[in-house]
Structure 1
């Protein structure tokens, strides 16, 4: 049963949890050179702290989704925050690189459920007509967390004790998890589904009409857009001559585009509707990424990166709200499948874009991304409009 309005306090708490989860994902990015020096290892080995988090994060979502359906989404999220606090603190006190890898894997596993189960809970308690605006508001935490995590890692890399961001994030997880745990027994925990094997639950979701369309789109979005966008900083540095700190900071502009969309989503979505919003988002993405690739003036980069972020969240938020409605009786499993395939798509996209960049350069790689997102996004928009006419 839907609430007349989802509890604002719970939405804020879930957004704060998403902030910590997203920050944990990105905090290690700028620390790789420091890790390589401190532990006497190569940069490729240091990057395993990012890879192991990402791989475990993606895989564990498939387990955590059905777990939330069975035991209550808020309760599982609150528990995950507590485990994340321990795992994140373990990163700060790890005595060796091997133990740091184990701690990062544990953090990836515990953080995996926070964002997808939060989205699923919003789907449980919010009518579909108003859900997109509520989801956009919740995602402010994730959007800001990605930028803050990267920034914390950058500051830590230049400080005497680089582990301090992990202590701060662990404390954040403790506070949010404790308050959310108390709230979980006062607010609706979300729809509870009968038990069953996680794989059987996922197969049940996949057999639901309309699900393949949404999950295939988000997988392709990850491949053709998010993968190549990982090379924007490299492109601005090597082709446009931007200093690496400046080039890396352009991700803040991408996040700013997402923040602007989230802030105005409640007004924009009812006016445009899902199909026009996703179509316009696709067009904004394509034009912005082409601008990143070919506009020679470096001063245009913040604007084009902002446009890429705005367009991406216009499209992706529409996909997210569809994901929350794909399988209402298995909403946690459905959103977890959606998130896992999006994450897998990004991993595939980074690998493909890396090879493409070596072969034809970053400019043409970004151009290929801009062109490829058009049939993906427009196809989703058109198919959605056709389904609503039936």
Structure 2
């Protein structure tokens, strides 16, 4: 398997299958992250706890997920990214079983934290593995294909989290995830035998703390990670409370609220289906600008629309805009620390999910003092500003690099 020289069209059947299986793993990982979103009102009722306390199943998961990035980056670079992803899916299956058996909210939060310790490896190391085998010129398009699993995961997590909570009960949602992770781990283990164990990135990884030092002294890296933190807080944070907003404001069922929010993932899938054309049409600058603005405009409608039906197309548009923005962020993340891509991408993921944890905590607290339309509306404006800022930052960096070329 060649590294950093193959265009997507030139990838071998073995590598294509490996990327497909990584997409399945990212699907499960993202579904696991989002499956609790529509559960919050039910968990609050079952465990007799306020929404802000029940939201710890999301916020504590994200905190553990973010902190573990500092561990998995160097581990993936040294032991093999694909192998670590396979082991992580096994750990997630065990964690989901424990979540399904939780007797109280404290145990459920602990089980979710334990699951996050394993899940933290899956998405960032999958992206980093793609960065090792695909040239940057074609990487954004390939990452969009891998992102299909992520987008489907958002949809499945929101939809089945609400559907199973309303029908069989919230425990069955975790039982379903346990079975999915077990299946994917088996497939990854079988595929691992066919991958070239001698394949490594073209750059030998340097010391992890030296890499952190390089990032700290790099103005672009500091700017990029700051945007990543804000993205996690505003985009993923608001997703965690959107289903609850629709349920409480418009008095629709959790199944309908979760299904409506799941259209966010379908919007992301629509972007992936048109990624080749969209990337060439708008470029990185346009994707960042119009992606952020589309997400923000859509959530302004979700926040203030008098009819819940308007949330259906709005969630779809928000998902398309998010995928435009986030796909650009992912591509840039794979180049942040080229000498140790696993570490670089996991730094990106760490800041993203640290932002998510902060966002969920802050938004849940604000919802105790302000109405949800106001909170969602303010969040939407921040995302609009973030998209415009990132587009200017990328344009400025590209111009600087062109001058130095």
Provide TM-score, normalisation by structure 2.
Answer: 0.85
Q: Is the 8 A contact 1:156 1:162 kept in 2?
A: yes
Q: Which residue of 2 aligns with 1:213?
A: 223
Q: Which residue of 2 aligns with 1:2?
A: 4
Q: Write out per-residue CA displacement over residues 324-378 of structure 1, whole angstroms, 9 at most, x where no aligned residue.
A: 1111112111111111111121222233334544555333323322322233211
Aligned partner (choices 353, 357, 360) of residue 350 of structure 1: 360
Q: Does 1:131 align with 2:139?
A: yes
Q: Is the 8 A contact 2:38 2:257 kept in 1?
A: no
Structure 1 CA distance, aligned partners of 2:368 and 2:274? 39
Structure 2 counterpart SS, 1:365: helix
In the comparison of the two structures, how many residue pairs are matched?
A: 388
Structure 2 CA distance, aligned partners of 1:147 and 1:137? 16
Structure 2 CA distance, aligned partners of 1:228 and 1:162? 21
Aligned partner (choices 38, 45, 49) of residue 42 of structure 1: 49
Q: Is the 8 A contact 1:31 1:156 kept in 2?
A: no
Q: Per the alignment, do residues 204 and 178 of structure 1 end up closer, same or farther by CA in structure 2, a change over 3 Å counting?
A: farther
Deviates more, 1:177-186 or 1:280-289: 177-186
Aligned partner (choices 365, 368, 371) of residue 378 of structure 2: 368
Structure 2 counterpart SS, 1:139: helix
Q: Does 1:386 align with 2:396?
A: yes
Structure 1 segment 1-390 matched on structure 2, within 5 A: 1-4=3-6, 5=8, 6=11, 7-31=15-39, 42=49, 47-93=55-101, 100-158=108-166, 162-187=170-195, 190-191=200-201, 193-194=204-205, 196=207, 198-208=208-218, 210-390=220-400
Q: Write out per-residue CA displacement over residues 84-134 of structure 1, whole angstroms, 9 at most, x where no aligned residue.
A: 223323334557766544433221101111001101111111111111111
| Deviation, structure 1 residue 10 | 1.1
Structure 2 CA distance, aligned partners of 1:210 and 1:355? 32
Structure 1 CA distance, aligned partners of 2:296 and 2:105? 41
Q: Per the alignment, do residues 246 and 161 of structure 1 end up closer, same or farther by CA in structure 2, a change over 3 Å counting?
A: closer
Give the gaps of 5 or more residues in structure 2. Answer: 401-405
Structure 2 CA distance, aligned partners of 1:103 and 1:295? 37
Q: CA RMSD in A?
A: 2.8
Q: Per the alignment, do residues 66 and 310 of structure 1 end up closer, same or farther by CA in structure 2, a change over 3 Å counting?
A: same
Q: Write out per-residue CA displacement over residues 213-243 of structure 1, whole angstroms, 9 at most, x where no aligned residue.
A: 2211111222334334444334434444545
| Deviation, structure 1 residue 36 | 6.3
Structure 2 counterpart SS, 1:42: coil
Provide TM-score, normalisation by structure 1.
Answer: 0.88
